[in-house]
Amino acid sequence: MNTKRIEEKKKLVGRFMIVTDADLPIVEIVKGYKDLWKIERSFRTIKSFLDIRPVNHRKEERIESHVFVCSLPTHFKTVREIHE
């Protein structure tokens, strides 16, 4: 057994690690990660409210367009929340 490796892993238990190449202050990176649940909740809301089902596209531009259209309400909601 590699006891050194086990001890290293024990130090990380209960913590999370964010790896990014973004050139932002650490506080903003962590806030962005912690706010991720809002985006996930919005996608769930969009999918359930609009009854969006998986659509199989073959062309890259159609995939990008589909994702854009599905995520547009989330962007509108975010902009509205910022300006309230």
**Three-state SS letters, the chain:** CCHHHHHHHHHHCCCCCCCCCCCCCHHHHHHHHHCHHHHHHHHHHHHHHCCCCCCCCCCHHHHHHHHHHHHHHHHHHHHHHHCC
The tens digit of pLDDT for each residue in 31-61 reads 888 888 887 887 777 666 655 666 777 888 8
Residue 30 domain flag: yes
Residue 9 domain flag: no
pLDDT at 51: 59
Number of structural domains (the chain) is 1
pLDDT at 78: 79
Residue 3 domain flag: no
Residue 56 domain flag: yes
Residue 5 domain flag: no
Domain, as residue range, for 43: 15-82
pLDDT at 53: 65
- Prediction pTM value: 0.41
Residue 10 domain flag: no
pLDDT at 25: 92
